[in-house]
């Protein structure tokens, strides 16, 4: 039976100078359903949502909410009309309390609007938290809380607007498995209440589990809208990429050689890493699995000298090394691709060339004083070709590239330093499916060339598909080591829960 639509976005178009960001895109959300919105990065999902919230002005098309045409001019107006969004990047006032954040922009007032009532605020906060089974202290200061709890506050905030439409933009990227279950319970509750949920995610397992309908976009255009029950993962990928991807992972061809790196009892001084010991071979891809906060990143950053080590020894080719600072680590032939690309990877407003040569400036010096433009251009050209970076030119600002291309620029940056050991922290985070395949291929090629690779990932299929061995972290400790070819997700999960 056809229900009347709760939200209809009809023939939305949006043009930026030189780019058609949205071309005649339609989206219909029925009440009491979860509608997944999928597409590669740059497909136009966020542009479409920004048009809904009035952050962008649409050039054409109309939006109908509950049978009435609407045209919001700001996110505040959207909120007041029952359209809320849980942003992917947490936008919170970190120095303020949970409840100050929750009611920001609409503080309950007494005395004729003169005074904010802490009492009402605290009571309503507790009501909402009880309803959603969120266990967070309403008076706690945001900056003292883990990211997952802050995410829950953001979700509670969206729910607290009594919204009819709630948009979730990659809500699970910082949640643990249990928290994801909790989120899904909340979403199901909202669905039962008759809300329409728009769910944006790259995680296909999640999409197929939680959603009723799936709309797929590509290059700013609508591709398909289907019931989730009729879709398979391969089908979604085919629709998103627009071509057959015979497999999600390239064939593995790397051969392992001798042990090049030996780590004994490495612990962090200020971080939770305890007594990690492992080895890495030449040409090997070593994965590190574990839940968020289990100490995965800490392994890489202690090894690279970003974090301070408390004890333990590192041996490179049997020779002890220290790696007290990143500078020292780079000299010893290490390279680190950081987890937060935007925060600690790219220099956003600088161009591709500067982003490429930054770790290798010493080798472009002429007479020890002046940098050779010619050499820098040559190396950047090499990187653009070898990494297959799609960019108009070397002098393009890196922030205007897609996530996948930015990541390739950074990998290129590190290859110029001729590293022996590459530490990759979430190398495919926030990267679309097609580009992921290319990154996997790059990683395998690097292993083929005899580099040792340690790769942290929160996506288990990726670890199973790319790595040779996988170390499983749990509660800051090494819980076990498995052979990627023989293990299963269940085995890894069991190990990951060992010291929780």
Partner 1 sequence: MSKESKDLAAKAQWDSKRVLSLVVNNALMIIMIIAAIAIAIVNPNFVSASSIVNIISQTAAYLPAALGIAGCIVLTGTDLSAGRAVGLTACISASLLQVAGSASKMWPNIGTLPIPVVILIAMAIGAVIGAFNGFFVGKFKLHPFIVTLGTQLILYTILLLYVKMGNNGGMAISNLDESYNSFVKGSILPKIAGQTIPNYVIFAILLTALMWFIWNKTTFGKNMFALGSNEEAARVSGVNVLMTTIMVFSLAGAMYGFTGFIEGARIGSNTANTGLNYELDAIAACVIGGVSFVGGIGKISGIVIGVLMLRLIFIGLTMANINQDLQYLIKGGIILFACALDMRKYLVKK
Where on the chain is the footprint of partner 1 (CB under 8 A)?
74-76, 79-80, 85, 87, 91-96, 100-101, 104-107, 109, 113-116, 269-271, 301, 306-308
**Nearest approach, Cβ of residue 215 and partner 1 (Å):** 24
Q: Of the two residues 17 and 270, which places its CB atom closer to partner 1 in the complex? A: 270
Task: Please state, in angstroms and rounded to a whole number, the distance separating the CA atoms of residues 40 and 279.
Answer: 36
CA triple 324-326-327, angle to 5 deg: 95
Instruction: Report whether 172 contacts 155 (CB < 8 A).
Output: no
41 close to 404: Cβ distance less than 8 angstroms: yes
- Measured distance CA(497)–CA(500) in Å, rounded: 5
Query: What are the beta bridge partners of residue 316?
Result: 261, 319
Element (H, E) at 225: strand 221-227
CB of 104 to partner 1, least distance (A): 4
Q: In the bound complex, what is the minimum distance in angstroms from residue 115's beta carbon to partner 1? A: 5
Separation between Cα atoms, residue 323 and residue 303, nearest integer Å: 7
Q: Minimum Å distance from CB 192 to partner 1?
A: 27
Smallest distance, Å, CB 107 to partner 1? 5
Closest-CA residue to 310 (of 260, 274, 362):
274
| Least Å from the CB of residue 86 to partner 1 | 11
C-alpha neighbours within 13 Å on the C-beta side of residue 494: 7
Q: Kindly state the smallest distance separating residue 161's Cβ from partner 1, in Å.
A: 10
Among residues 269 and 390, whose Cβ is nearest to partner 1? Answer: 269
Between 8 and 100, CB nearer to partner 1: 100
Which CB, 85 or 237, lies closer to partner 1? Answer: 85
Do residues 394 and 351 lie in contact, with contact meaning Cβ atoms separated by under 8 Å? yes
CA angle 429, 432, 435 (to 5 degrees): 95
Nearest to 166 by CA among 132, 205, 203: 132
Work out how close the CB of 378 gets to partner 1 at its nearest, in angstroms, rounded to a whole number.
36
**Would you report the helix, strand and coil content of the chain in percent, each value rounded to 5?**
35, 25, 35
- Closest CA relative to residue 312, chosen from 288, 276, 280, 281: 276
Q: How far is the CB of 100 from partner 1 (least distance, A)?
A: 6
| Cα–Cα distance for residue pair 60/338, rounded to 1 Å | 40
CA distance 72 to 51: 9
User: Looking at the chain, how many residues does it have?
Assistant: 500
Contact 38, 44 (CB under 8 A): no
Distance CA 342, CA 430 (A): 11
Alpha carbons 298 and 307: distance in angstroms, whole number: 8
Return the number of the residue (85 or 183) whose C-beta is nearest partner 1.
85
Contact 425, 463 (CB under 8 A): no
Local structure of residue 411 (DSSP, 8 states): H
- Closest distance of CB 210 from partner 1, Å: 24
Residues 6+ apart with CB under 8 A from 171: 86, 88, 151, 155, 183, 199, 201
* N-terminal to C-terminal alpha carbon distance within the chain: 47
């Amino acid at each position: 039976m056809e229900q009347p639509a709760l939200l209809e976005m009809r023939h939305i178009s949006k043009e930026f100078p030189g780019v058609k960001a949205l071309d005649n895109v339609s989206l219909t959300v029925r009440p009491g359903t979860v509608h997944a919105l999928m597409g590669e990065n740059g497909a136009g999902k966020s542009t479409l949502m920004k048009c809904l919230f009035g952050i962008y002005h649409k050039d054409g098309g109309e939006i109908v909410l509950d049978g009435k045409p609407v045209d919001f001019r700001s996110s505040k107006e959207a909120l007041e009309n029952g359209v809320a969004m849980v942003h992917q990047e947490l936008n919170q006032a970190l120095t303020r309390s949970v409840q100050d954040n929750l009611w920001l922009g609409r503080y309950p007032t007494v005395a004729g609007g003169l005074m904010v009532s802490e009492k009402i605020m605290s009571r309503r906060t507790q009501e909402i938290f009880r309803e959603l089974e969120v266990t967070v202290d309403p008076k706690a200061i945001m900056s003292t809380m883990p990211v997952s709890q802050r995410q829950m506050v953001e979700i509670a905030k969206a729910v607290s607007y009594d919204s009819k439409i709630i948009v979730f933009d990659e809500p699970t990227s910082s949640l643990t498995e249990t928290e994801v279950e909790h989120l899904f319970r909340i979403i199901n509750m909202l669905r039962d209440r008759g809300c329409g949920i728009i769910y944006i995610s790259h995680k296909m397992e999640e999409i197929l589990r939680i959603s009723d309908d799936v709309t797929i976009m590509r290059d700013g255009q609508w591709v398909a809208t289907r019931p989730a029950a009729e879709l398979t993962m391969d089908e979604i990928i085919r629709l998103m990429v627009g071509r057959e991807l015979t497999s999600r992972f390239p064939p593995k061809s790397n051969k392992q050689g001798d042990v090049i790196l030996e780590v004994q009892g490495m612990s962090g001084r200020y971080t939770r890493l305890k007594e990690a010991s492992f080895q890495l071979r030449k040409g090997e891809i070593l994965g590190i699995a574990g839940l968020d906060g289990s100490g995965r990143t800490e392994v890489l950053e202690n090894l690279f000298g970003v974090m301070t080590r408390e004890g333990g020894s590192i041996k490179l080719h049997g020779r002890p090394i220290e790696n007290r600072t990143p500078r020292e680590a780079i000299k010893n032939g290490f390279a680190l691709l950081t987890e937060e690309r935007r925060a600690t990877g790219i220099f956003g407003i600088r161009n591709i060339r500067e982003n490429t040569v930054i770790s290798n400036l010493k080798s472009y010096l002429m007479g020890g004083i002046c940098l050779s433009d010619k050499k820098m251009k040559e190396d950047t050209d090499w990187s653009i070709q070898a990494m297959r970076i799609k960019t108009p030119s070397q002098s393009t600002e890196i922030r205007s590239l897609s996530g996948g291309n930015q990541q390739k620029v950074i990998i290129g940056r590190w290859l110029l330093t001729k590293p022996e050991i590459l530490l990759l922290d979430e190398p495919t985070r926030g990267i679309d499916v097609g580009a992921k395949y290319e990154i996997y291929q790059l990683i395998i090629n690097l292993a083929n060339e005899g580099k040792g690779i340690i790769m942290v990932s929160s996506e288990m299929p990726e670890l199973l598909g790319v790595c040779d061995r996988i170390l499983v972290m749990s509660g800051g400790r090494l819980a076990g080591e498995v052979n990627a070819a023989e293990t299963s997700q269940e085995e890894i999960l069991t190990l990951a829960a060992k010291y929780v």
